[in-house]
Amino acid sequence: MPFINYASREITCKLVYYGPGLCGKTTNLQWIYENTQQDAKGKMVTLATEAERTLFFDLLPLSLGTIRGFKTRFQLYTVPGQIFYDASRKLILKGADGVAFVADSQSARHEANIESLRNLQTNLRENGLDIETIPYVLQLNKRDLPTALPAEEMVKALQFRGEPVFEAVAPKGIGVVETLKALVKQSLARLKAGTPA
């Protein structure tokens, strides 16, 4: 659940970017960071290896305006995609208010997408989060690569609850804001539904 602080009139939502290794999760956050005005963003925290693989997580705090007099703060996290960091992934998902699944469009990564999605479902369940109702979007990233599978084929394999789908080229910012906006929209709608008028 979002954290609501009545004293400081702030709502904090945790949004997690999930997906297989090298699919572009960190690149999504980097693009958002680089293209957000100073007063709306906090410091981006990145814990990465020398090869720029996420080691534990990335964190980007954003302030996205006010809802019913409450400041809304979003904490964007990425998980490390490499298979052997599962304990970190599970920990980072704890208390998530929304998830963006970033799939890698390259045909060679098709199985990795499916495996990562299964891993997400397991880790959500183990954190007591409901995979059917948690705010959720699907991003098909790396649409610029010649080996990209047709989007329809990916949607067929990865979409499981009619969630919104966005085609993206994260380093160019294509589809990046759309993905975030859709996730924020779902999270706020859920918040409104749960908050007395």
Ligand X SMILES: Nc1nc2c(ncn2[C@@H]2O[C@H](COP(=O)(O)OP(=O)(O)OP(=O)(O)O)[C@@H](O)[C@H]2O)c(=O)[nH]1
The site for ligand X (CB under 6 A) is made up of 19, 21-27, 52-54, 78, 80-82, 141-142, 144-145, 169-171
Nearest to ligand X of 63, 173 (CB atom): 173
Residue 153 beta carbon to ligand X: minimum distance, rounded to whole angstroms: 17
Nearest to ligand X of 2, 175 (CB atom): 175
In the list ligand X, Mg ion, none, the entry touching 71 (Cβ below 5 to 8 angstroms by class) is none
Nearest to Mg ion of 2, 81 (CB atom): 81
Closest residue to ligand X, judged by C-beta, is: 81
Helices (H), the chain: 25-34, 86-93, 110-126, 151-158, 176-194
Residue 47 beta carbon to Mg ion: minimum distance, rounded to whole angstroms: 9
Torsion angles phi and psi, residue 179, rounded to 5: -60, -50
| Sequence-ordered list of residues with C-beta below 8 angstroms from that of 98, at least 6 positions apart, any chain | 13, 14, 15, 16, 134, 135, 136, 137, 183, 184, 186, 187
In the list ligand X, Mg ion, none, the entry touching 98 (Cβ below 5 to 8 angstroms by class) is none
Nearest to ligand X of 80, 135 (CB atom): 80
| Sequence-ordered list of residues with C-beta below 8 angstroms from that of 193, at least 6 positions apart, any chain | none
Under the binding rule (CB under 5 A), the answer on residue 26 touching Mg ion is yes
CB-based contacts of 118-125 (< 8 A; 24+ apart in sequence): 119/86, 119/89, 120/18, 120/93, 123/86, 123/89, 123/90, 123/93, 124/93, 124/96, 124/99
In the list Mg ion, ligand X, none, the entry touching 145 (Cβ below 5 to 8 angstroms by class) is ligand X
Residue 105 beta carbon to ligand X: minimum distance, rounded to whole angstroms: 8
Residues 29-68 that bind Mg ion (CB under 5 A): 54
Nearest to ligand X of 72, 179 (CB atom): 179
Q: Which residues pair with 148 in a beta bridge?
A: 106
Residues of the shown chain interacting with Mg ion in the complex, contacts defined by CB under 5 A:
25-26, 54
